[in-house]
Each structure stands twice: as C-alpha cells, then as structure tokens.
Amino acid sequence: MAIDKLLKDEATEEKGERARMSSFVGAMAIADVVKTTLGPKGMDKILQSAGRGQSVTVTNDGATILKSLHIDNPAAKVLIDISKVQDDEVGDGTTSVVVLAGELLREAEKLVAVKIHPMTIISGYRMAAECARDALLKKVMDNKEDAEKFKSDLMKIAMTTLSSKILSQDKEHFSKLAVEAVMRLKGSTNLEAIQIIKKAGGSLRDSFLDEGFILDKKIGIGQPKRIENANILIANTAMDTDKVKIYGARVRVDSMSRVAEIEGAEKEKMREKVQKIIAHGINCFVNRQLIYNFPEELFADAGIVAIEHADFDGIERLALVTGGEIASTFDNPESVKLGHCKLIEEIMIGEDKLIHFSGVEMGQACTIILRGASFHVLDEAERSLHDALCVLSQTVVDSRVLLGGGWPEMVMAKEVDELARKTPGKKSHAIEAFSRALQAIPTIIADNAGLDSAELIAQLRAEHHKEGSNAGIDVISGAVGDMEKLGISEAFKVKQAVLLSATEAAEMILRVDEIITCAPRRREDRM
C-alpha cells in the first residue's frame, strides 16, 4: 500500500532541481538588491516602513537594507544573516559579502546545469578559498611598528570606507575624527567609550570630536552651572515621592490636618534620603528617574548639581567613563563607587544646552557630535561613521593592511586561476568559477560608476600578470590606476571575513536538495 500523503494539508515541499533553483534564485535576487550600492559610486536605497508613521530610512549600508527586508525565501535569509554577522564582526564589507556569495551561487548554477555534482563544486570552492586567502596573506603590509605609517594607514582605510558612504564629500574631515577617536581607545575594541550625538542643524562639515562625555540634558534651576573636580554619584532611584502617591489604597482621615501630617512625613522621608545622598561627599548627582522640585531644592541648597532623567544608555555610559557604578541604595556610603571628572559645565550646540564632562577617569572616552541638514542625513552619517570606527578598531588589533579598489579580488583571482590549471578532474571547473565570481566585484564597482567594465577588467587582468602590480579601478578618473599612489587601502580582516563567510554561505545553500515548508498552525489546533 502506497503512502499518499506524508505531510499535513498546507505543508509544501520542493525537491531536487526545483528546490535548488528556488534557493539559487532567492540568493541571487538578494545579491542583486544590494549590488547597486557597492563601491564609491554606489547608489542609496529608500526604505519605508509600513507601520504607523511610515518612517523613512535612506541608506546604502548593505546590512541595514537587508535587515529591513521581510523575506520568505529561506536561502535569501542565509545571506541576510551573513551580512548581519559581517556587520557585528568587522563593521564593513556587508554588501561585498552578499554580492560575492550571490556570484558564487550564480557560477554554481551553471556548473549544476552541466551535471557537475554539488559536492564536487563545494570541494572545489573549498580549495579555491584556501588558495585565495594564502594569496592575500603573501601580499599584506603591516606597519604596526612605525607609528606614523600606521596612522596614515588608518587614515587611508577610514577614507576608503567612507568614500562609498554619504560622508564621501568630507571624508578627510571624518576620517580624522574617526582615527582620533579610535587612537584614544588604545587598542580596545569597546566602542561604548565613543559616544555619537546627533544634532540637526548646520552642515556635516560642522561635526567635531570632543574629549570627554556629553549628556543630552539640562542642569536644574538654581544650581551651579560649572563644577571643578566633581565627585559624581550615578543612581537609578525614585526621587519623586514627596507627594502622597498610594494607588489603590484608601487612607481615611478625620481632618485635613491629618493629610498634612502624612504629606509632612513623606517630605521628611525624602529629606532623609537626600541627606543620605549628600553624605557621600558628592557635588554632582545624576539620576535615571525624575527628581521632583523639593529634593531639587535641597540639592541646590547644598550646592550639588542634580541631573534628572538621564536615559539608561546615557547613565550606563557615564558610569563606564567616569569609573563609577550605578547605585540604588544609599545606606552605606563606603560601598558605593563614585565617578570622578575634572570639570562639569553647560555648553551650547546649535539651539540646545548640554552638559559636558571633561577630564574623565577613562582617558579614552570621547564624544563625536554630528551636525547635518536633517535627521535622515544624520542617521545615515552615524551608520557610516560607525562602520569606519568598527573597521579602525579592528585594524588597531590586527594591523594587516591591503590595497583596495578591486586589487585584492584580482590578486586572488589570478592565484585561483593558476590553481585551476594545475588541478585535474571536475573540481577545476569549480575553482575556475570561483575566480570568475571574485572578478565580479571589481566588475560591479566599475558598472556602478557607469564605466565600461568589460574593457577595464581586461586591462586590470593584463596589469596583474606583471609581477608586483598595484593596479585597481580608479573610479574617479574612470581608468586603471595605482592603488598605492591613490591611497586606497582596506583592512585585511574585512577582506578575509568577506571571503570566508561568502564561501561558507554559498556552500550551505549548495547542499540543499529539498525545501519543506511547514503547514501554518491553525487556531483550532491549539484548543
């Protein structure tokens, strides 16, 4: 007796050829979505949410675009995941990794069509990826010992990263900001210490870096606007209980004077709490919650700056940079760790007043203030700057540097091609396909700039057959140029992550031969 149906009613399955086709098509479609954002002349996308308010994001950051897409195709989801991981891991190369994986699958599709088994293709890709990585390792430069050279390397990497983003017009200015901020971290990759504040108004060029920490709040009324050698107590506690607030409880009193007594007791309780806080020997109190008028008066009388409603992100960061801890009870002052800084003052940026903490414990802390015409510009500028900061902080740890502009892809493609010629059997087709996929990245960079990619790539390949060539695509002049002279550099870590992630993702999608979609759960199933 044959089994007619194995799966539930609405469950679907695709097998063999169809499953593979649907995976390939989904992955290539995703790669095509972000393909046009690659390179210095890449275009931006507008993402509009369907929710309330229909917020609009303008971006050309691969990870941001893909995160916002809601997609059914399972293979496409794998690519979205690798771009997210690339974003978390090294910060840049989110578009390249998806495009490379898409190209590898496009090449694999042709090979599967001529009856080469997916496992053969995978083992060929494995060999090719290993060979490509070795090719890059032979060519890396490392200037960690020479501080001047290393700093110029960092500047070049920052400028290359920013040249494909909205900040490309002022990339020198922003590269300086990013390099200074990362140099302050002294080798740690903790970007928490770099705070980015966005203030609309002015132009992008008015952005600046400020040592210390800026809190987007105002100082209370009647309190000193400037404090030197501050001891800061950072707290998350309720300072708004000087009014009767007993919800759901009924208090019966026989006269108004009794109500006054209760209020008086509340006030006394509050006064005691404030006395305890003042007993810590502080001159600045930052609270995450509200501070009502009465405690604020008491603080003002004691000459203490009280800052209320500092958002959670703000106080977490403030605790980190001033070396304090967030307290919520004040009974034993000796166990509370206070924060310290040399000067607290109020500053103006644009129309707004902010509080500036300078000379903080953690010397590496700094704040970048971004100015710009609109919030969309500022959001995109923040994403671009964040990419640059991530790449730089990773480069400070792993200081190996490569040239950019399609140069690394051509170097890898040349080595992989040679490997294909030496390898016997069907694997050589897969290895050759890998080299074609690598060359697709410079091709797309040229296409996006409106150049004749076929002509340029042919010239590039010829250049790379000479020993020690530094040729890459110079998008500005529209010809093949010397990447070293143009100062176009990339971090080795980014390139390596792109290469390995894309190969692994392509491999994973290639292994698929069946897609089973579960039946949706019905309401009555749950009864």
- Could you confirm whether 379 is annotated as catalytic? no
Secondary structure (3-state) at 179: helix
Catalytic choice (94, 322, 423, 443): 94
Instruction: Please indicate whether residue 237 is annotated as part of the active site.
Output: no
Q: What's the CA angle centered on 459, arms 458 and 463, to 5 degrees?
A: 120
Burial of 402 (0-12, 13-18, 19+ CB in 10 A): buried
Cβ proximity of 371 and 202 under 8 Å = yes
Active-site annotation holder among 37, 59, 61, 64: 61
HSE (CB half, 13 Å, CA atoms) of 89? Answer: 18
Which position among 95, 322, 395, 423 bears the catalytic label?
95
Task: Transcribe 282-325 into DSSP letters.
Answer: -SEEEESS-B-HHHHHHHHHTT-EEE----HHHHHHHHHHHT--
Determine whether 64 is an active site residue. no
Annotated catalytic residue: which of 387, 417, 447, 474?
387
Q: Which of 241, 273, 364, 353 lies closest to 307 in space, CA to CA? A: 353
Query: Crossing angle for the helix pair 171-184 and 147-162, nearest 10 degrees?
Result: 130
Write the CA distances from 440 to 76, 270, 412, 487, integer angstroms.
19, 69, 12, 23
H or E element in which residue 102 lies: helix 94-113
Residue type, 280: H
As a whole number of angstroms, the distance between CA 120 and CA 350 comes to 62
Q: At what angle do helices 94-113 and 427-448 cross, to 10 degrees?
A: 140
Number of Cβ atoms within 10 Å of the Cβ of 277: 25
The residue assigned the tokens 């001047």 is 148
Inter-axis angle of helices 427-448 and 407-422, nearest 10: 160
Q: Any catalytic annotation for residue 95?
A: yes
Asked if 192 and 315 count as a contact pair (C-beta separation under 8 A), the reply is no
Q: What is the DSSP letter of 255?
A: S
CA of 200: how far to CAs of 258, 293, 350, 375, 377, in Å?
A: 52, 31, 8, 6, 9
Residue closest to 244 by CA, chosen among 264, 215, 274:
264
**Nearest in space to 401 (alpha carbons), one of 180, 149, 225, 198:** 149
Closest by CA position to 517, among listed 50, 12, 2: 12
Q: Give catalytic residues, as residue numbers.
A: 61, 94-95, 387
